[in-house]
A and B are shown apart, each in its own frame.
Chain A
Amino acid sequence: MKNRLLSGIAVAVFGLLLALVPVCIFPACAKVIETAAGGTVPMKCFWSGQAEIGVGLLILCGGVLLIVFKSPLTRIGVSVMTALAGVLGLLVPTLLIGGCEMSTMACRMTTFPAAVVLSILTVAACAANAHYLWRQNKNLPVKTDGR
């Protein structure tokens, strides 16, 4: 019960913080690109921020599910999926979308480092939780109904 609460709350907090980073903690650059037609579109880092909000909410849900579900096998599954969501959170600013080129821009200076740190913490917490649950329950008989 204590482990369930602790791991679930920790992961949920990391997810919430990750979702809040681009919104209010360390917002990404606010400038827009002017197109040839005279319109404006947001920069790459804005879309990275939006993706991080989604990943953060996914991790938050993972944390809540870790608290709600009692079955160790289900929690191992949720932990692994949440860890993978953390990996996605890591890849969005570094590989998949990216951001501004200059290291002194707001996104490169604060938003992405915060997202990377929170993603690393999420992956570490979920991997440790999955490992702990697996070690505790490796001799547990698996019933056909999954309980």
Chain B
Amino acid sequence: MDAKPLTTVNISFQTLRRKPFRTTGLIVLVALLAFTLFGGTVLSKSLEDGMNSLSKRLGADILAVPYGYEADIQSAMLRGEPSTFYFDAGVTEKVAGVEGVEDVSPQLYIATLSAGCCSYPLQLIGFDPETDFVIQPWMLNALDHPLADGEIVIGSSISAKVGQKLIFFNQTFSVTAQLDKTGMGFDTSVFMNLATAKQVARESERLKAHPVAENADLISSVMVKIKNGYDVKDVANSILQAYAKDGVHVVVAKNMISDISGNLRGLTTYIFILAGVLWALAVGVLIIVFSVALNGRKREFSIFRVLGATKSKLVRLILCESCLISIIGTVAGMLAAALVIFPFSTYISALLGLPYLQPSYGTLSAVAGLSLLISFAVGPLASIYAAVKIGRSEIYSTIKEGE
């Protein structure tokens, strides 16, 4: 066996090794706390960023959709679930005439088919570049000219490069730009102008009957921007009162975002409550364990004192033991959380069905640092009482008590 110097760290390490069951239990407890704290914070931060991305990109105040398809447009926007719903293009003009409406822009949704190798049903979104105020503003960085016929812009999750040709329904399209990750349904969507979208619909008729191929005057939704000084709810009610009989229904963007924000707040609160409870539990259990262990180790500490250890050496020993437990548990817990949260981020996003955008490396480092600090603090905090108690005791009385 190697002869190791009797440093505080070496003695503490050997003490922990002598009680493997207790040490493992305490490490697991701290690891559980670190896992919840780091994993939970990254999860809630990713959802928060996804939510911010959604509200930044949802430039419309009201979305007019065919009656009964309110949930479909939310699925298409949040999760990119391909949807097909249509009403007459004349709705655009009708909605534009409602008092309080400033701008309107039609959109056409076409879903591709799921067949063959590596194919995945995609949402093709056709928009009118002349009237659009929703999609083009955040495409500006990626696109240097208005979308021409036959040109497409693809979401970040679509595997193709700028300049590459993509084939939909036996028609070739040129990829002119690829968007940054948005964390929402737009990542798996393909954007094109209305004329191109209608052409796609006509081509798709060869495989499957498509309503737009038979009637070119169909659109899927109308994005509505209201004038300053008007209340969104009032304008939405006016649209409903005037055109509900024509099968027009409205989705108020703010309500959609506040619904999701509400769910998100609930989830974040649960995560932090759980982390708080685990933190208190970890501190409580460690205080009890160190106090109990201290009583059982009075004789051991007295012998250290007799051998020449100072009181401060004993204090350092106890603090070092707790720090070792804390650091091993914290690192293990954070690594475990990283192994779940990062590789499975797409799966988690699909399971939650909410906009999910992983934070930047800077934010991740800050979250990791904070989680490390909070989890690590458990050990030293819990052992302060035991350390102070042993620091005050006298050799003789400690030996007597330990007998």
Contacts and interface: CB of A to CB of B under 8 A. Distances in A.
Given A101-B118, A104-B188, A117 B343 contact: yes
A64 B350 CA distance: 37
Nearest to B344: A113
A101 B160 CA distance: 9
A71 interface: no
A61 interface: no
B343 A102 contact: no
Contacts of A100: 118
A21 B354 CA distance: 26
Interface in B315-358: 339-340, 343-344, 346-347, 350
A109 B120 contact: no
A34 B118 CA distance: 11
Contacts of B158: 102
Interface string B123-159: 0000000000000000000000000000000000111
A109 B118 contact: no
A96 interface: no
A37 to B, nearest CB: 15
Contacts of A121: 339
Given A102-B158, A104-B157, A43 B118 contact: yes
Interface in A83-116: 100-105, 108-110, 113-114, 116
Contacts of A114: 343-344
Contacts of B117: 31-34, 43
A97 B271 CA distance: 38
B118 A105 contact: yes
A110 B347 contact: yes
Interface in B154-169: 157-159
A109 B347 contact: yes
B120 A104 contact: yes
A102 B118 CA distance: 7
B350 A109 contact: yes
A5 B188 CA distance: 47
Chain B contact residues, majority secondary structure: loop
Bin chain B's interface residue count. Answer: 10 to 19
Given A109-B350, A117-B339, A120-B339, A102 B120 contact: yes
Contacts of B344: 109-110, 113-114
Contacts of B118: 29, 31, 43, 100-102, 105
Nearest to B156: A103
A45 to B, nearest CB: 9
Given A110-B344, A116-B343, A105 B350 contact: no
Nearest to A32: B117
B116 interface: yes
A113 B339 CA distance: 9
A117 B188 CA distance: 26
B350 A102 contact: no
Contacts of A29: 118
Interface string A26-55: 000101111000000001000000000000
A31 B159 contact: no
A33 B116 contact: yes
A94 to B, nearest CB: 11
A103 B346 CA distance: 7
A105 B350 CA distance: 11
Interface in B341-389: 343-344, 346-347, 350
A17 to B, nearest CB: 13
A31 B346 CA distance: 20
Nearest to A107: B118
A43 B115 CA distance: 13
Contacts of B120: 102, 104-105
A146 to B, nearest CB: 24
A31 B350 contact: no
Nearest to B79: A104
B159 A102 contact: yes
Contact of A31 (B116, B188, B343): B116
The 7 tightest CB contacts between A and B, nearest first, are A101-B159, A113-B343, A33-B117, A109-B346, A100-B118, A109-B347, A117-B339
17 contacts: A32-B117, A34-B117, A43-B118, A100-B118, A102-B120, A102-B157, A102-B158, A102-B159, A103-B346, A104-B157, A104-B350, A109-B347, A109-B350, A110-B344, A113-B347, A114-B344, A117-B343
Given A103-B157, A104-B346, 20 more contacts: A33-B116, A33-B117, A34-B116, A43-B118, A100-B118, A101-B118, A102-B120, A102-B157, A102-B159, A102-B188, A103-B346, A104-B157, A105-B118, A109-B347, A110-B344, A113-B343, A113-B344, A114-B344, A116-B343, A117-B343
